[in-house]
A and B are shown apart, each in its own frame.
Chain A
């Protein structure tokens, strides 16, 4: 199942909450300004395999398309 890129951004608390996104084969390592704005249920509903939150770092497990999804997100964030 392909994850929905826009829904992932929304689940991360929106464009303005995202500091950095780095893909690592199967997951997006994302740094956010405000971890309380991260909606894990919304991220799961966006089609991701799993979400791990540690401090301001959110790992979104998206499967092997992580590189493509990360570059799609970078484009949307601008």
Chain B
């Protein structure tokens, strides 16, 4: 079965290797991609359909019914912001469909605070070969980003 993983935010798909955090760039928690977001306030959406099993202001994990989890991390080191500048649009435990808004945030504010607003999108614990069809370049929130097979 192939899961289409959607871009959670609008911007430029740059690949996981370009993320300035070794946990993501070295794919320690799984392969995937990353988006350099458009610098304007906007909604981050669910990358797949399923249940929100983890929801922090700056990051969330959606677990599909097939047991596959996708992590979206809004910016790097943004745990340090303790939720400031982020607004939750869903709750932990909610069922969401792919493309449904989860968090409202402002990448420009994250960057103004001295942090990278780049958003890793990770197929948690997937084998490297299970992710393909990765899109590069401009994407809108909810556009296909990669396939998990």
Contacts and interface: CB of A to CB of B under 8 A. Distances in A.
A binds B: yes
Nearest to B69: A64
A64 B125 CA distance: 9
Q: How large is the interface on B (under 10, 10 to 19, 20 to 34, 35 or more residues)?
A: 10 to 19
A34 interface: no
Interface string B49-79: 0000110100101000000010101000001
A63 B73 contact: no
Contacts of A52: 22-23
Contacts of A26: 23, 28-29, 71, 124
A23 to B, nearest CB: 9
Interface of A is mostly: strand
Contacts of A24: 59, 79
A25 B26 contact: no
A25 B73 contact: yes
Contact of B54 (A27, A29, A67): A67
B121 to A, nearest CB: 13
A63 B27 CA distance: 11
Contacts of A59: 23
Interface string A54-78: 0000010101100100000000000
A59 B77 CA distance: 12
A47 to B, nearest CB: 12
Given A63-B29, A67-B54, A25 B71 contact: yes
A25 B22 contact: no
B82 to A, nearest CB: 11
Given A24-B79, A25-B54, A25-B73, A49 B59 contact: no
A49 B29 contact: yes
Contacts of A27: 23
A35 B143 CA distance: 44
B124 A63 contact: yes
Nearest to B73: A25
A60 to B, nearest CB: 10
Contact of B22 (A29, A50, A63, A67): A50
Interface of B: 22-23, 26, 28-29, 53-54, 56, 59, 61, 69, 71, 73, 79, 124-125
